[in-house]
Structure 1
Amino acid sequence: MIATPASGSVRVAARAAADVPIALRCVGLVKRYGDVIAVDGLDLEVHTGECFGLLGPNGAGKTTTIEILEGLNTPDAGEVEVLGRRWATDADHLRQRLGIQLQETQLNEKLTVAELLRLFRSFYGQGPTVGELIASVGLESKRDAWYGKLSGGQKQRLALACALAGDPDLLFLDEPTTGLDPQSRRQLWDLLAQYKQRGRTVMITTHYMDEAQVLCDRVAIVDQGKVIALGTPVELIASLGAEHVVDFALAEGRTLPAVDALTRLPGVRRASVQDNRGTLIVSHLHEALPALLASVADADAFTLLTTHSATLEDVFVALTGRQLRDT
């Protein structure tokens, strides 16, 4: 179901799934830091067995939200239910059923990979063996290496292994692939896919839109502490009403056409201009591109002219006018 608010922004509402158990629910979540409202009346439901992505720019409230859901932070208002339980009364039970990988993990640099995983495994009543955890993240060759000697990617994989030490029903991952090389990212994606195939639930925050499109069954885009769009990646991209995006820029001293003029070009659904750069969201690229070139008249004026298929990042830009990586 697609709904368009009066403001003109695009919002996609998730389909009802009454027959799917709810792994995680929050209603009216609020968190303030002085005069700053980090989370502003946020509502979410995560279904059992899905990978749910929380997307947004730095400062949008993602990490604060996920810390509250993990029981690491206390909301000023609102209700949180995790695996059918509440932190106020069932904290010990929940800690045995959750796995958490924080945005940054600092461990003792003089302990080995095996020693650290043995320590984390001791916190839980059940779970994989240390050897199984090491193998699951591909660190067999680093079993006896000190934590301080690991590369950044190896440390991230070890942090994930620590989060999996109790064979959790619900796994929280806060920016798990930041700083990883492409091969390490792919390895982590494969590991999460295997975990989800066992009917487990994942909640992930990420700045990487390709990652969200590969991993997530549904995503919520958050800005200024509120959910501004919710749905599957396909639904959110389809909500743009267009398949392609054209980015262009003109040489210094050249004037871009006005937004109204760009919007009236054939095949263009939406247009925006910032500084000396413009973006067109188009439904018919074969019509829009020649029309854009004609509107500028001098093809040599372009210093940038690229096209790409619409992505989740384009959805966010259409909603907020900002890039997902803006701070």
Structure 2
Amino acid sequence: MIQIENLVKRYGELLALDHLNLEIEEGEIFGLLGPNGSGKTTAINCMLALLKYDKGTVRIFGEEMSPDNYKVKQQIGIVLQNVAVFDELTVYENIDYFCGLYVKDKKERKKLVDEAIHFAGLEEYTKMRPKKLSGGLLRRLNIACGIAHKPRLIIMDEPTVAVDPQSRNRILEGIKELNRQGSTVIYTSHYMEEVEQICTRIAVIDHGRSVAVGTKEELKSMIKTGETITVESVALSDGQIAAVGALPHVFDVKYKEQVLKVRCTRGKHNLMRILSYLQEEEISFGRVFSELPTLNDVFLEITGKELRD
């Protein structure tokens, strides 16, 4: 559905996109995961021909994208980071206006607007103006405006920023429902939990480049970390920390403020070995837990920094 080849975008001396390559299949919820400033929003704006880029090609539905390719644009719905609605219009009038940019038949448009209102859970707020809505409801209005015309491709750029947990869950469930109804979704976020929850495939973006692409299972299999073990309230000497680091399958040990964090490769009995060592040394400790690798671990190993740095 989407093919991006060698996309380069500069802002003066800043290289925002560095030969970005992506292929997105029809029917996917495709995640763009990366910290703020990694190039996700720039990539979307170039994809939509809202920004001129210095080099590369963007093809959507098999056609080269350009500012005046309205045939392609009519099949795309956009939900950007910044809420883009009219304060002078009611909730209903906003959705009707944006749907009207694509659907001229009034009867058909009314049906689509009613469906979008129901989808976003805005039935009780149709006569209210945006300034009277909470942050979560405003985000849901923004989404309803972007998807009312039933687009084939929906692009969502950080749609859950600064919303309450209830609205966030409703938005994420709504995205999965749109996908079930036939829309392909591109979803950008720096919240790894959201990307893990809804995306069928993910591209890890850093410094304007795609550094890894795959399902969450494929991405996690690319890295060394198989398990992270955390031991709290434990007092250790330098020699004891070194001894933990020398245990089988252990490749990284961090100790700070009496919290021991041990990263291990895939293998059996990692937790048992660490606990056995602490007991042999008669070292008391508090809470212990083991975690399988996350997308943050993937990002850390591939880029050398935390996802939210």
Provide TM-score, normalisation by structure 1: 0.81
Aligned counterpart, 2:26: 48
Deviation at 1:254, TM superposition (A): 5.9
Q: 1:159 aligns with which of 114, 132, 142?
A: 142
Q: 1:271 aligns with which of 224, 249, 252?
A: 252
CA distance in 2, matches of 1:71, 1:272: 46
Q: Say which is worse superposed, 284-293 or 195-204, in terms of deviation.
A: 284-293
Q: 1:62 aligns with which of 10, 32, 40?
A: 40
Cα distance, 1:73–1:247 mapped onto 2, change above 3 Å: farther
Partner secondary structure for residue 74 of structure 1: coil
Aligned counterpart, 1:12: none
Aligned counterpart, 2:116: 133
Alignment of 1:151-190 (within 5 A): 151-190=134-173
CA distance in 1, matches of 2:208, 2:256: 27
Q: 1:105 aligns with which of 80, 83, 92?
A: 83
- Percent identity at matched positions? 35
Deviation at 1:117, TM superposition (A): 0.8
Answer with 1 or 2: which has the greater Rg. Answer: 2
Partner secondary structure for residue 230 of structure 1: strand
Cα distance, 1:258–1:34 mapped onto 2, change above 3 Å: farther
Aligned residue pairs, count: 301
What are the ranges of 5 or more consecutive residues in structure 1 without an aligned counterpart?
Answer: 1-22
**Cα deviation 1:128-161 (Å, max 9, x = unaligned):** 5221111110010111111001111101111111
**Cα deviation 1:229-287 (Å, max 9, x = unaligned):** 1101111122335542124678899648778x66542233x426487774413424633
Match of 1:57, as an amino acid? P
Aligned counterpart, 1:310: 293
What are the ranges of 5 or more consecutive residues in structure 2 without an aligned counterpart?
Answer: none
Partner secondary structure for residue 63 of structure 2: coil
CA contact (8 A) 1:27 1:79 kept: yes
**Cα deviation 1:90-114 (Å, max 9, x = unaligned):** 5222221110011111433332101
CA contact (8 A) 2:115 2:148 kept: no
Match of 1:180, as an amino acid? V
Q: 2:177 aligns with which of 191, 194, 197?
A: 194
CA contact (8 A) 1:25 1:81 kept: yes
CA distance in 1, matches of 2:149, 2:62: 19
CA contact (8 A) 2:32 2:202 kept: yes
Aligned counterpart, 2:9: 31
Partner secondary structure for residue 299 of structure 2: helix
Aligned counterpart, 1:119: 97
CA contact (8 A) 1:56 1:207 kept: yes
CA distance in 2, matches of 1:319, 1:304: 29
CA distance in 1, matches of 2:245, 2:236: 22
